[in-house]
Chain A
Amino acid sequence: MAEYTLKVRRYQPESGEGAFWEEFKVDLDPSLSVLDGILQAKDREDGSLAVRCSCRAAICGSCGMKVNGQSGLGCKTQIGHAHEQANRRNGGGEPIVVEPMGNMPVLKDLIVDMESTHWEKIRRVTPWLLPHGEPPEREYVVEPESMIDVTQSMACIQCGACVSSCLSMEADPEFIGPAALAKAYRFVGDPRDAESVERLHDLAHDPHGIYDCTHCFSCIDACPKGVAPMDQIMRLRRRASEAGIDDDPNNGHNHSQAFVKMIEKKGTNDEALLIQESYAPGLKGKLKPSKGAIEGLVKSLPTVLRAIRTGKARSLSKLIPGVHPKLPGGAQEEVKAIYAHAEEHREEFNIYIRGEEDVEPEPDETATEETTA
């Protein structure tokens, strides 16, 4: 048993007052959860402290919240860990800070309106299987790997932690977002779905769709179930690319292609060329830029200038094309070798195949595999 202080951001809509902070002292084993702490405060001190919860075991997805600023499930965050984290950040004696999830309106205390945000976005992606024709007499026969592949997104419990943590959604509230796009991959990756390509067109051409994600990894950190929503978004992008969809309004496909080619050629990002290559790739693109390319380049100028001013891009003098430094020695050849290897071993990382923190095989396991092989 140990004593902890929970500092909870509260909001009681019927009081006529704004949100306020309240501290609760709780007393429980460090291995129990932040949710257990909240429930103890609710049981012993104040029954009006509102929090959605049910399973207590990270299955039902009810208790999404922020603990010390990090989105996740209250029931899956050990209170001892949360306490140490709070102290590390603020240097001792600090309470554990508990807040409602972000990117969703607060209804009461830790309860947010998921319906108008999270669920609205889920419904946006036509979240049901669209097979063609009559079903077979028995089951659909499909590649076993394909079912394991989509099971990772099936593991989503719709808790909203990824939505809460999504930085793109903070900038663009209309972004379809990590949870709904992970749900979309569940159908796109399902061989029984007959409208995968239509889905990809839809999600690529929506300016708030798959190319609205900025790769910040917040959703992967937040997800309590290892769904890795950003990885699912990247799978959607790859599938869209494979389906030949290269005309999205965010220029996302071409931008990523420019990146890939540039690193293969130069090893590091040549900022002087990145945007040009995104809109007007190669010599051909520059000699005969399309109307869209010119428009895109002109529209990018303010962003470029802002990036230089804030130090996010290198200074103007260093942005002169053609002076980009090469990698030392034979490093560029090694980069190319990595590309070739990746091309040959196209594997998606999936927790149902290899386990979350256990990618390295045990020495004895490798031995067994070799003997069997």
Chain B
Amino acid sequence: MPTHDVLVIGAGLAGQRAALAAAEQGVSVGILSKVHPVRSHSNAAQGGINAALNPGDSWESHAFDTVKGSDYLGDQDAISIMCEEAPEEILHLEHLGVTFHRNEEGKLGTRAFGGASAARTYYVADITGQAIMHVLYEQLMKHSEQVSRYEEWFCSALALDEAGECCGVVTRNVADGSMQLFTAKAVILACGGNGQVWQPTTNALICTGDGIAMAYRAGAKLMDMEMIQYHPTTLAKKGFLITEGARGEGAHLLNAKGDRFMERYAPNKMELASRDVVSRAEQTEIDEGRGFPDGTVALDVTVVPKKRVHEALREIVLVGKDFAGVDITREPIRIKPGNHYTMGGVKTDVDGRTEVPGLYAAGEVACVSVHGGNRLGANSLLDTLIFGRRSGADAAARAKRVDAARPSAGVLEAEQASADAILARQKGSGRRVSEIKAELGATMDKHVAVFRNEGGIQEALETVRRLKEEAASAYVDDKGSVFNQDLLAAIELGYMLDNAECTCVAALERRESRGAQYRTDFPERNDAEWLKHIDLQRGDDGPELSYSEVTITQWEPEERKY
């Protein structure tokens, strides 16, 4: 039974940052991930990371842009902390070795990004997430004495003690199938979002909402689960991401007639309005017949100087070439809005503490809430690092304070039995896991996407509940122990269905349009009734609803125009 003071689940940016911050406090740290850490999805963040570090810029301006971007659903105390601490974090990363882009003076250089009133996005070409994550992994290798790495260990449940405090996690070593209970005085969930609930999605296959579901099952509250970001520029077929950095560098959006249609939706910010606004504009063009026959509009990167494309947008040149057969330096590429980011998640305070004592959450799995109804581009990396660090530090402080973990008896045995039960299902007993997953993805993309209405969401919810029943008998082919990915997919399917159910319930409840939640049956924002968070907690018959206040410090809600 491996024991650590602090256990981090997930090893993307939030998890690695949390582990390093906890280790700095001198406690023993373990970090677990179902994939090798550098395979984590933080890799995919291309564009950059925001911070008000330039002379003349201010954290207040960054915070206001974030509040406005969130459609006033973000908590302003948390946003202030994030924006105030951002510059120091960028400098810390630079000192660790991140190869940030430099200006002509050799100092940190910035690029423009959506929804921002100043160019404050720091970047490494268009591999910013990858570059930062690999540098943090370098630090994990450097500090291997303080931080134990468990690479390719899958988590199936959180362990609680008799008092209901979180004190560990049940894991499965993917390489050999052995199951173990890891104990800790504090557990930090840092295992990302739930994009795989939708098909297509920009998200990796590993983004199955594991942490959100495990926390929910352990009794933690979820918040803002209806807020799912559709990114304006994704490839039609497979949903791959084209960075917002492309528009930051000056690329245009064109409909099939060749019109720069953003003129009609956001005359001031044009292509750099916030993502929910741009995605809705595109979807409207497509729905009203001004898109291309394959349900897309075009992104024209040819207007960006070639030298700049090679220096700053090389990754998407490769994406265009390899996955769409298009040379973006020579012709426009077809794109459409696609599932991208989970704004909601496990409800936490500004130190990552959830409603379950001992359980923390940071990064996309969490909802602090700094993104509210819509996340600004280049704020997600920042979120992972700031709240990863704060969670790590607070978890370490807790570990110094509390007694050794004493998990309730039987938690490991129960999980083992549940895995064995999945393996024991007879062939022909039910549908294949992959079929259920495909139906879930298509349903959610149809009904809980850019435009939503009561009938559609209700239909999605009913489908999800039927799929839950079907998932209980889904058959797996692989009966072995070594790298049994089939079994893990069955467990992940359960996680995804819990996520989907919560999103549908919250989307149905919020009878207004705010940020990413656009209800065609309630097209206006309604501050009088809905300027509040929707919280969900597991009940006997599914998620139970409650509400919490949005923290407003200095920015009163006003109409949002770009």
Assess the A129–B97 pair: CB atoms within 8 A. Answer: yes
Q: Does A218 touch B at the CB level, under 8 Å?
A: no
Assess the B480–A48 pair: CB atoms within 8 A. Answer: yes
Bound-state CA distance A269–B210 (Å) is 61
Q: Does B493 touch A at the CB level, under 8 Å?
A: no
Contact string against A for B residues 91-104, beta-carbon threshold 8 Å, 1 for contact and 0 otherwise: 10011110111111
Q: Does A355 touch B at the CB level, under 8 Å?
A: yes
Chain B residues lying within 8 Å of A156, measured Cβ to Cβ, are 134
Q: Does A143 touch B at the CB level, under 8 Å?
A: yes
Instruction: With A48-B480, A57-B319, A139-B94 as known contacts, state yes or no: A144 contacts B102, CB within 8 Å.
Output: yes
Q: Does B56 touch A at the CB level, under 8 Å?
A: no
Contact string against B for A residues 41-78, beta-carbon threshold 8 Å, 1 for contact and 0 otherwise: 01110111011111111111110000000000000101
Chain B residues lying within 8 Å of A215, measured Cβ to Cβ, are none
Bound-state CA distance A148–B125 (Å) is 8
Assess the B38–A147 pair: CB atoms within 8 A. Answer: no
Task: Return B174 CB to nearest CB of chain A, in Å.
Answer: 10
Bound-state CA distance A151–B102 (Å) is 12
Q: Does A340 touch B at the CB level, under 8 Å?
A: no
Assess the B319–A148 pair: CB atoms within 8 A. Answer: no
Chain A residues lying within 8 Å of B44, measured Cβ to Cβ, are 55, 57, 59-60
Bound-state CA distance A122–B477 (Å) is 36
Q: Does A344 touch B at the CB level, under 8 Å?
A: no
Bound-state CA distance A128–B134 (Å) is 10
Q: For chain B, which range describes its interface: under 10, 10 to 19, 20 to 34, or 35 or more residues?
A: 35 or more
Q: Which of B39, B205, B485 contacts A56 (CB 8 A)?
A: B205
Bound-state CA distance A352–B479 (Å) is 47
Q: Does B419 touch A at the CB level, under 8 Å?
A: no
Closest to A126 in B: B142
Task: Return A242 CB to nearest CB of chain B, in Å.
Answer: 22
Bound-state CA distance A353–B306 (Å) is 10
Contact string against A for B residues 468-493, beta-carbon threshold 8 Å, 1 for contact and 0 otherwise: 00000000111111111110010000
Task: Return A129 CB to nearest CB of chain B, in Å.
Answer: 4
Chain A residues lying within 8 Å of B435, measured Cβ to Cβ, are 43
Bound-state CA distance A65–B44 (Å) is 21
Chain A residues lying within 8 Å of B134, measured Cβ to Cβ, are 154, 156, 158
Of B71-79, B310-318, B354-362, B499-507, the one contacting chain A is B310-318
Contact string against B for A residues 7-40, beta-carbon threshold 8 Å, 1 for contact and 0 otherwise: 0000011100000000000000101100000000
Most buried by A among B238, B329, B479: B238
Bound-state CA distance A111–B476 (Å) is 19
Q: Does B428 touch A at the CB level, under 8 Å?
A: no
Bound-state CA distance A78–B481 (Å) is 32
Chain B residues lying within 8 Å of A127, measured Cβ to Cβ, are 138, 141
Q: Does B447 touch A at the CB level, under 8 Å?
A: no
Task: Return A237 CB to nearest CB of chain B, in Å.
Answer: 22
Assess the A60–B204 pair: CB atoms within 8 A. Answer: yes
Bound-state CA distance A362–B302 (Å) is 13
- 8 Å CB interface, A137-192 against B: 138-144, 147-148, 150-151, 154-158, 186-187, 190, 192
Assess the A61–B39 pair: CB atoms within 8 A. Answer: yes
Contact string against B for A residues 180-216, beta-carbon threshold 8 Å, 1 for contact and 0 otherwise: 0000001100101100000000000000000000000
Bound-state CA distance A60–B101 (Å) is 22
Q: For chain A, which range describes its interface: under 10, 10 to 19, 20 to 34, or 35 or more residues?
A: 35 or more
Contact string against A for B residues 420-442, beta-carbon threshold 8 Å, 1 for contact and 0 otherwise: 00000000000011110000000
Chain B residues lying within 8 Å of A155, measured Cβ to Cβ, are 125, 127, 130
Bound-state CA distance A56–B199 (Å) is 13
Task: Return B429 CB to nearest CB of chain A, in Å.
Answer: 14
Bound-state CA distance A59–B40 (Å) is 10
Chain B residues lying within 8 Å of A108, measured Cβ to Cβ, are 482-483
Bound-state CA distance A192–B323 (Å) is 36
Bound-state CA distance A128–B102 (Å) is 21
Chain B residues lying within 8 Å of A42, measured Cβ to Cβ, are 434
Assess the B39–A365 pair: CB atoms within 8 A. Answer: no
- 8 Å CB interface, B213-249 against A: 237-238, 240-241
Most buried by A among B309, B482, B486: B482
Q: Does B35 touch A at the CB level, under 8 Å?
A: yes
Q: Which of A78, A114, A353, A358 contacts B329 (CB 8 A)?
A: A358
Bound-state CA distance A58–B46 (Å) is 13
Q: Does A338 touch B at the CB level, under 8 Å?
A: no
Assess the A190–B97 pair: CB atoms within 8 A. Answer: yes
Q: Does A93 touch B at the CB level, under 8 Å?
A: no
Of B105-113, B453-461, B538-546, B549-557, the one contacting chain A is B105-113
- 8 Å CB interface, B1-49 against A: 35-36, 38-41, 43-44
Most buried by A among B102, B205, B432, B476: B102
Closest to B44 in A: A59
Assess the A154–B138 pair: CB atoms within 8 A. Answer: no
Assess the A47–B41 pair: CB atoms within 8 A. Answer: no
- 8 Å CB interface, A108-123 against B: 108, 111, 114-115, 122-123
Closest to B109 in A: A144
Assess the A352–B43 pair: CB atoms within 8 A. Answer: no
Assess the B306–A128 pair: CB atoms within 8 A. Answer: no
Chain A residues lying within 8 Å of B91, measured Cβ to Cβ, are 135, 138-139
Instruction: With A55-B44, A143-B106, A151-B99 as known contacts, state yes or no: A13 contacts B310, CB within 8 Å.
Output: no
Q: Does A131 touch B at the CB level, under 8 Å?
A: yes
Bound-state CA distance A138–B90 (Å) is 10
Assess the B43–A107 pair: CB atoms within 8 A. Answer: no
Assess the A55–B486 pair: CB atoms within 8 A. Answer: no
Task: Return A128 CB to nearest CB of chain B, in Å.
Answer: 4
Assess the A151–B125 pair: CB atoms within 8 A. Answer: yes
Assess the B125–A352 pair: CB atoms within 8 A. Answer: yes
Assess the A147–B43 pair: CB atoms within 8 A. Answer: no
Bound-state CA distance A52–B135 (Å) is 23
- 8 Å CB interface, B173-218 against A: 175, 204-206
Q: Which of A54, A143, A154 contacts B35 (CB 8 A)?
A: A54
Q: Does B325 touch A at the CB level, under 8 Å?
A: yes
Q: Does A354 touch B at the CB level, under 8 Å?
A: yes
Chain A residues lying within 8 Å of B138, measured Cβ to Cβ, are 127-129
Q: Does A351 touch B at the CB level, under 8 Å?
A: yes
Q: Which of A107, A142, A358 contacts B175 (CB 8 A)?
A: A107
Assess the B486–A47 pair: CB atoms within 8 A. Answer: yes
Assess the B317–A355 pair: CB atoms within 8 A. Answer: yes
Chain B residues lying within 8 Å of A193, measured Cβ to Cβ, are 97
Chain A residues lying within 8 Å of B311, measured Cβ to Cβ, are 148, 352-353
Q: Which of B100, B139, B319 contacts A147 (CB 8 A)?
A: B100
Assess the B100–A354 pair: CB atoms within 8 A. Answer: no
Chain B residues lying within 8 Å of A12, measured Cβ to Cβ, are 480
Q: Which of B39, B102, B139 contacts A62 (CB 8 A)?
A: B39
Task: Return B313 CB to nearest CB of chain A, in Å.
Answer: 10
Q: Does B322 touch A at the CB level, under 8 Å?
A: yes
Instruction: With A139-B91, A147-B101 as known contacts, state yes or no: A59 contacts B130, CB within 8 Å.
Output: yes
Q: Does B151 touch A at the CB level, under 8 Å?
A: yes
Bound-state CA distance A14–B372 (Å) is 49
Bound-state CA distance A10–B284 (Å) is 48
Contact string against A for B residues 524-546, beta-carbon threshold 8 Å, 1 for contact and 0 otherwise: 00000000000000000000000
Bound-state CA distance A355–B434 (Å) is 39
Q: Does B270 touch A at the CB level, under 8 Å?
A: no
Chain B residues lying within 8 Å of A61, measured Cβ to Cβ, are 38-39
Chain A residues lying within 8 Å of B333, measured Cβ to Cβ, are none
Bound-state CA distance A44–B324 (Å) is 25
Assess the A14–B481 pair: CB atoms within 8 A. Answer: yes
Q: Does B131 touch A at the CB level, under 8 Å?
A: yes
Assess the A151–B124 pair: CB atoms within 8 A. Answer: yes
For this complex, 18 residue pairs linking A to B, each with C-beta atoms less than 8 Å apart, are: A14-B481, A48-B484, A58-B318, A58-B319, A58-B322, A76-B322, A108-B482, A111-B483, A128-B138, A139-B108, A144-B104, A151-B127, A154-B99, A157-B43, A351-B314, A352-B314, A355-B306, A355-B309
6 closest pairs, A vs B, by CB? A129-B97, A43-B434, A47-B486, A47-B477, A48-B478, A144-B102
Q: A139-B95, A358-B329 are in contact. List 10 more A-B contacts (CB 8 A).
A: A46-B477, A47-B477, A57-B240, A107-B175, A128-B139, A138-B107, A352-B310, A353-B311, A358-B310, A365-B306
